[in-house]
Amino acid sequence: MAVSNTTTAAKDPTDMSTAILIRVDQTGKGDFGKIQDAIDSVPSNNSELVFISIKPGTYREKIVVPADKPFITLSGTKSSDTIITWNDSGEIFASPTLSVLASDFVGRYITIQNTYGTSGKAVALRVSGDRAAFYSCKILSYQDTLLDDVGKHYFNNCIEGAIDFIFGNAASLYEKCHLHSLSERDGAITAQHRVSSAENTGFTFLGCNITGVGASFLGRPWGASSRVVFTYCHMSSAIIPQGWNDWGDETKQRSVYYGEYKCYGPGANRSKRVGWSRSLTSDEAAQFLTKDMIGGKNWLRDPPIHFKRASGALVSLNSDENE
């Protein structure tokens, strides 16, 4: 059962600088050897920050953060040595390696990958909870890599790589991310699913680097009012000169919102862009240049600086000794 915003708000942690510490270590030196076991140990509707520290290793798990367990952080040491991996395909809501259904989730310094291959949809990460943030994470698969489903989300310094790989109907800001397409021909970076201009959803890319091995469009409309904006982004020659694709439905050309603002690089040349995309003015771009679109000032939080056990005993993040 999903936790309503009212219920979650009533149980927000009062101390945002202190978190309950749970350690995951495959060598047996932590509280748990599996990440899912650590998540399962968190009580439903918990009202404190929970910081799950994951020691380096490759964790072959299919993980779900349930909707009734908000305020969880999964943190590795660096994405190159803290890897969550699975290999599943099929229905987009069933195949993800990591499914985040809870609100107020944070992921840090981890790789999330689906190694199924190139023959079908294989989601690495599904984000369906509100107020989720990811920092310095790698999100890797081939087709339909990141299901940026619903809610307000923030991705900072993350790397995603695949074909048609960021899709869904969230309101998300991608800041200083590296988007690398594995498509050899006619792939798409985004497939945003906004169905009405009344919805305040869409994907914004700010200061990102876009590269690829072949040729990709910036986006194609999963929803009739699909909204995607690229601002201050470097675009390599992997971007197809037309820039955007209507996915075989010309009627969507009148209702999508596809914008670019002060992007640069060989793929940013707008001389051959489709006429129904937009070169934004400074006034039009202003709303996409801050975290205001996702209300980030109200919910993005710094990492905790104090840690304790569930018993209340203070501990150090880097030691099992009590402080």
Cβ atoms of residues 266 and 233 within 8 Å: no
Taking the C-alpha atoms of residue 74 and residue 52, their distance in angstroms, rounded to an integer, is 5
Q: 139: which 2 tokens? A: 């999100």
Q: 186: which 2 tokens? A: 């006619």
Please indicate whether residue 246 is annotated as part of the active site.
no
Cβ atoms of residues 116 and 88 within 8 Å: yes
Taking the C-alpha atoms of residue 268 and residue 227, their distance in angstroms, rounded to an integer, is 18
How many CA atoms, within 13 angstroms, populate the side-chain half-sphere of residue 200?
9
B/e letters for 39-55, b = 16+ CB within 10 Å, e = fewer, are beebeeebebbbbbbbb
Cβ atoms of residues 228 and 202 within 8 Å: yes
End-to-end CA distance of the chain: 38
Catalytic residue (choose from 40, 164, 283, 292): 164
How many CA atoms, within 13 angstroms, populate the side-chain half-sphere of residue 185?
0
Cβ atoms of residues 110 and 139 within 8 Å: no
Cβ atoms of residues 293 and 273 within 8 Å: no
Taking the C-alpha atoms of residue 246 and residue 119, their distance in angstroms, rounded to an integer, is 24
Q: In 3-state terms, what secondary structure has residue 317?
A: coil
> What does each C-alpha distance from 195 to 30, 170, 200, 226, 293 come to in angstroms?
46, 12, 11, 7, 18
Catalytic residues: 164
